[in-house]
Amino acid sequence: MKRIFITGAGGQLGLALIELLKDNQEYMLCLTDSRPSADGTIKALDITDEATVKFQISEIHPDIIINCAAMTAVDLCESEQEMAYNINALGPKYIAKVANSIGAKLIHISTDYVYDGQARTPYTEEAVPNPASVYGRTKMAGDNFVKEYCPRSFILHTAGVYGEGKNFVKTMLKLADEDRKIRVVSDQIVTPTSAKELARVIIYLMETDSYGKYHASCEGSTNWYEFALAIFEMAGRKAIVEAISTSEYPTPAKRPEYSVLDNKMLREFHGYYMKGWKEALEEYIIEKGKML
């Protein structure tokens, strides 16, 4: 039985991984997050505490570590830069060091926000990062540490994740329930990705030795306005939605105008295709429908 150590297990991706892995007899899960869960299945581990990261991971001696922990509040990162660096850069560094010392594989998750968004064709893994926000810069620093300290690592860049927890899909449906006019930006091109689709590709890759950088978002692209329309249509909800430009919705952090990722490595080296964004959204809405 392989031991899998997951950090940030209570977040969107962590919960999707647990859902897919919990009944698999081949794996024993060791779950940690910033706060312990009420039922005790997730233990506390702050990834910015190097000594405790080293102690807890060495004690379990996992075969695989999946780092799902991150500071994902993109705007908050602008005002809390030190915290963002500690969580998004130093945390992965500490995890990578201990992973390497015990011979564990490390799967680390990164973002489309490492790119500047100036391209107009999908970014492949060869594209040069040039982040425009504190979130993007601190995530890029984390990626570099993982690469430097743990050669047996996978770094997966994904985008627009939605699963259990606070996310765009849930926010849209909540606003629709409140019967408010909803204004959504239509000039940022993205590929929303379900946490479940991301979890599936992690589970596939962690059983290989094909270490390196991967783009791992759903196939295709859209903008947030079109994505909102698709959510309402699939969920059978009525909503008044207005398309606006980014300049009409100023935020502390600059978002990339275009952050479509080309999953070239997955496709060419593994023949692996992630679902199209609409198909993944449909799956999510059908599964979560009653709870949304």
C-alpha 46, offset from chain centre:
18
Active-site positions read 135
Which of 7/223 has CB closer to ligand NAP? 7
Q: Is 48 in the site for ligand NAP (CB under 6 A)?
A: yes
- Judged by CB under 6 A, the residue of 33, 197, 219, 262 near ligand NAP is 33
Q: By CB under 6 A, which span of 154-162, 223-231, 236-244, 248-256 interacts with ligand NAP?
A: 154-162
Q: What is the C-alpha to C-alpha distance for residues 143 and 96, in angstroms, rounded to an integer?
A: 10
What does the alpha-carbon distance between residue 183 and residue 240 come to, in Å, rounded to a whole number? 9
Task: Pick the closer one to ligand NAP by CB: 87 or 104.
Answer: 87
Of 45 and 201, the one with the shorter C-beta distance to ligand NAP is 45
69 binds ligand NAP (CB under 6 A): yes
Residue 136 found at the interface with ligand NAP (CB under 6 A):
no
Question: What minimum distance in Å lies between the beta carbon of 124 and ligand NAP?
Answer: 17
3 state SS of 49: coil
- Among the listed residues 114, 159, 216, 285, the single contact to ligand NAP using CB under 6 A: 159
In the complex, the smallest distance separating the C-beta of residue 28 from ligand NAP, rounded to whole angstroms, is 20
17 is an interface residue for ligand NAP by CB under 6 A: no
Quick one: which of 11, 122, 129, 256 contacts ligand NAP (CB under 6 A)? 11
Q: How far is the CB of 136 from ligand NAP (least distance, A)?
A: 10
Measured in degrees and rounded to the nearest 5, phi and psi for residue 239 equal -155, 150
Does the footprint of ligand NAP cover residue 131 (CB under 6 A)?
no
Nearer residue to ligand NAP within complex by CB, 111 or 222: 111
Residue 46 found at the interface with ligand NAP (CB under 6 A): yes
Should residue 161 be labelled a site residue for ligand NAP when binding is judged by CB under 6 A?
yes
The tokens of 283 are what?
């799956």
Contact call for residue 65 and ligand NAP (CB under 6 A): no
**DSSP SS3 for 221:** coil
Q: Is 98 in the site for ligand NAP (CB under 6 A)?
A: no
Question: If binding is defined by CB under 6 A, does position 194 make contact with ligand NAP?
Answer: no
User: Residue 222 interacts with ligand NAP (CB under 6 A)?
Assistant: no
Closest CB to ligand NAP among residues 45, 229: 45
